[in-house]
Amino acid sequence: MTHAAPGPISMTLSAFFTSTANQNPDNLPPAKKAIMGMMKKYLLNLLTLCSDEQFGQDAVEWAIMNGNIHLTYTLQEDLRLIMGEPGKPETGQYDAIVEAYRRVLQQHYNSLVQSYRPLLEELNRSNPVAA
């Protein structure tokens, strides 16, 4: 995946979130609450424009939160970055995002299964199934 270079806006937003990450939202000043509300609305709008399905929205959100996609906070530019030029979806990153997200979910699933394997084996040994 190629990444858009973070511009001054995204750096400012990153610094904003870092400075407010450990604060109780109820204690934030009204201006910061308003900015967070606008950003939340923007992200929800972007996610719903990228996919009608929850899985696709989750994949795009994952890519944003993990730094695979650097938003410009200009809706048309961000849509082109993720979904591609109108009529040319191959120019976007959506398919690669979804595939990377599927791989991560599969890795997490496999890790979870591995972590429970000893417990399941122990349970099977102590409780034999009646034939």
Dihedral sign for Cα atoms in the order 5, 32, 15, 27: negative
Comparing C-alpha atoms, which of 54, 20, 53, 49 is closest to residue 37?
Answer: 20
| Helix/strand/coil for 88 | strand
Q: pLDDT tens for residues 91-116? A: 999 999 999 999 999 999 999 989 98
| The pLDDT value given to residue 120 | 83
Q: pLDDT tens for residues 33-86? A: 888 889 899 999 999 999 999 999 999 999 999 999 999 999 999 999 999 998
Tokens 């906070």 sit on residue: 73
- Rounded Cα gap, residues 92 and 104, in angstroms: 20
> Is residue 1 very low, low, confident or very high in pLDDT (cuts 50, 70, 90)?
very low
DSSP helix, strand, coil percent of the chain (3-state; round to 5): 70, 0, 25
| The pLDDT value given to residue 61 | 95
